[in-house]
Amino acid sequence: MGCLPIGHEPGDPGGVALPFSAVAKNPDPTLDLSTATGVTRTLDDWTTMFHLCLVILPDRPEASEWIPVARRIFGVLGDSDARTAFVIPSTPAIAERILGDDAGTDMVFVDPDRSFVTSLGLEHLPAFVHIRQDTSVGTSAEGWDPAAWQKVARDIAKAMAWTVPDVAPPGGAIPRRTAGWAV
């Protein structure tokens, strides 16, 4: 496990150190994954035609801070061969409370028992995860570090031969860096 300094410019000795995991692990392809509207299929079924581009938010009110980030990502990658979706490790009611209007416009997976998040080996949320059609993890980022999320976005765009979304545009309102919340 390493640390990533946040809150200051590179070379600045101040700031907070964020722990991070090396990589997420490949999930169980036979794991059931349900949408907030009640459609349940195995992960393998969800990836039959498309890769998955997932923004996994914590099940807490602060999660709404990452909705604009996800909107930028989904706005670019949503027309590629990747299915974009939110994952909320809770019930459909909590997902709707966190996502508001976005709950009705985007694909939303719920994971009340956290079996999917646990299967990925994630330790902190929010997270940005690319799952390939073979259900292996392409790349991922835990916590909120714009550079790490931008790398995931670049990797997904490259895999899809698509335009790269700007995760944290200069001058744009973005959340403060954080290690996130423990799963």
Cα-to-chain-centroid distance, residue 131: 10
Per-residue pLDDT tens over the stretch 136-172: 999 999 999 999 999 999 999 999 999 999 999 888 7
- Cα–Cα distance measured from residue 41 to residue 152, given in angstroms and rounded to the nearest whole number: 25
Containing structural domain, residue 134: 24-182
- Count of structural domains within the chain: 1
Flag whether 9 is in a domain: no
| Cβ proximity of 64 and 159 under 8 Å | no
Any idea how long the chain is?
Answer: 183
Backbone angles phi, psi at 117, to 5 degrees: -60, -40
Per-residue pLDDT tens over the stretch 103-133: 888 999 999 999 999 999 999 999 999 999 9
pTM value is 0.86
Predicted confidence at residue 23, as pLDDT, reads 61
Inter-CA distances, 138 with 96, 112, 134, 146, 149, Å: 28, 24, 10, 18, 13
Per-residue pLDDT tens over the stretch 18-35: 444 446 789 999 999 999
Flag whether 103 is in a domain: yes
Indicate the burial class of 155 (C-beta count within 10 angstroms; 0-12, 13-18, 19 or more). middle
Flag whether 7 is in a domain: no
Predicted confidence at residue 7, as pLDDT, reads 40
Flag whether 30 is in a domain: yes
Flag whether 170 is in a domain: yes
> How many CA atoms lie less than 13 Å away from 54 in the CB half-sphere?
37
Strand 32-35 versus strand 107-110 pairing type: antiparallel
Q: Does position 135 have pLDDT exceeding 80, yes or no?
A: yes
Higher-confidence residue: 150 or 12? 150
Flag whether 10 is in a domain: no
Per-residue pLDDT tens over the stretch 37-83: 999 999 999 999 999 999 999 999 999 999 999 999 999 999 999 99
- Cα–Cα distance measured from residue 57 to residue 114, given in angstroms and rounded to the nearest whole number: 12
